[in-house]
Amino acid sequence: MKARTLKKDKVNIITMGCSKNLVDSEVLLTQLKGNGINASHESGTDDNNIIIINTCGFIDNAKQESVDTILQYVDAKEQGLVDKVYVTGCLSQRYKDDLEKEIPQVDAFFGTRDLPAILKKFKADYKHELVGERLLTHSSHYAYMKISEGCDRPCSFCAIPLMRGGHVSRPIEELVKEAEHKAANGTKELLLIAQDSTYYGLDIYKKRNLAELMRRLSDVNGIDWIRLHYAYPTGFPMEVIEVMKERENICNYLDIPLQHGSTDVLKAMRRGTTRQKQEDLIHSIRDILPDIAIRTTLIAGHPGEGEKEYQEMVDFIERMKFERLGVFTYSHEENTHAFSMEDSIPQEVKQERANNLMEIQEQISYDLNQEKIGKTFKVLIDKKEGGHFIGRTEYDSVEVDNEVLIDASKHYCRVGDFVNVKVTEATEFDLYAEVEE
């Protein structure tokens, strides 16, 4: 075992999974630093002696990645490279007893709502005055804002309620305060996230209050873009689209996971809707706001998806021509409703179907992007990579959507600034553009 010189504790937080997990890590980081603890997020250095791993437990691949990461740091602990390893997040919430038996070298496991318990390990207190003052772990020009926690939906395939519990909305005043703090510290774009943003407000205001929340956030000085993610189609409040239309700083963008294009599979998924109702909803949204980019996600290979149902999904994509699309393969998750169904579709068939759906989407995206050539767009610059500055239009979210590439040898852009660009060339998922002087 290697000997290490004793130093003051230095904590490194590792985040697995989605943007909601990232927000949780940022809240933890803020609380630790607020208590005077030397903490960082994915520091990339080897001088940290305490590791906190915020895990994902959503699907098999994510679970395996989380377990592999835990084992990596347990190995480092056994070599004397770190002193303590703590595990939190969705995997820990869902499989705490199993993990404690299988990986006893971990010093403690915590669930998704155990922040005060984690802080106790550091003899730290939860500081309420830090609510809304979350430290960001990435460029400060954009920030995720979690408007609620948990989910009350009964979707057959989803284990999130097992890990995150029931839906709890955050009060509007608290979210406005957070937005004001972010704006004062240079944030220009808010990305609203939740397990189900459609449900926002029903628990604390006894009505769907998403539209009012967006109005209030839109009033915050310094916020140029507000982007809505994770809307649920059933019960979606159309007033939200009216607010998008009337407020310039609310992006004409909606992320609304629809999950399938077959009514029979939607029924098996317990989505509470039909193919026709979903099509009607998308048409209604586009009627009110024709200039909107709709992003959705679909699942290939859910139990009950035969060739007929798969072809219905193909037809659904070809008819609706979504501006943005992601496709996942079905993962058979224990303790979900779908786990009682037979997972009879081979993984290679699921993957082939998913790949085919994305090939269809590539052509749709290519055709839509060709229409942008010669047009001018406002772009937010995210980073410089290789020989290009890379940015996004209001129709594109961080990491998952199209990007705008600007030749760095011809133009200088500052990360976090808005620039107006003219599109000169387009591929399936990228736009090439010149800065307009």
Dihedrals phi, psi of 214, to nearest 5 degrees: -65, -35
Was 155 annotated as part of a binding site? yes
Cβ–Cβ under 8 Å, residues 361 and 317: yes
Was 251 annotated as part of a binding site? no
Close Cβ partners of 350 (under 8 Å, ≥ 6 residues apart): 300, 301, 329, 330
Close Cβ partners of 10 (under 8 Å, ≥ 6 residues apart): 38, 39, 40, 47, 48, 49, 50
Was 151 annotated as part of a binding site? yes
Look at strands 250-255 and 225-228 and give their pairing: parallel
Cβ–Cβ under 8 Å, residues 215 and 249: no
Was 56 annotated as part of a binding site? yes
CA dist., res. 134 & res. 24, Å (int): 10
CA dist., res. 147 & res. 45, Å (int): 33
Was 413 annotated as part of a binding site? no
Cβ–Cβ under 8 Å, residues 327 and 354: yes
Whether the CA torsion 336, 340, 344, 346 is positive or negative: it is positive
Cβ–Cβ under 8 Å, residues 156 and 338: yes
Residue type at 201? G
Q: Which of 222, 224, 149 is nearest to 191 (CA)?
A: 224
CA dist., res. 128 & res. 115, Å (int): 12
Was 90 annotated as part of a binding site? yes
Provide the annotated binding site: 18, 56, 90, 151, 155, 158
Provide the annotated binding site for [4Fe-4S] cluster: 18, 56, 90, 151, 155, 158
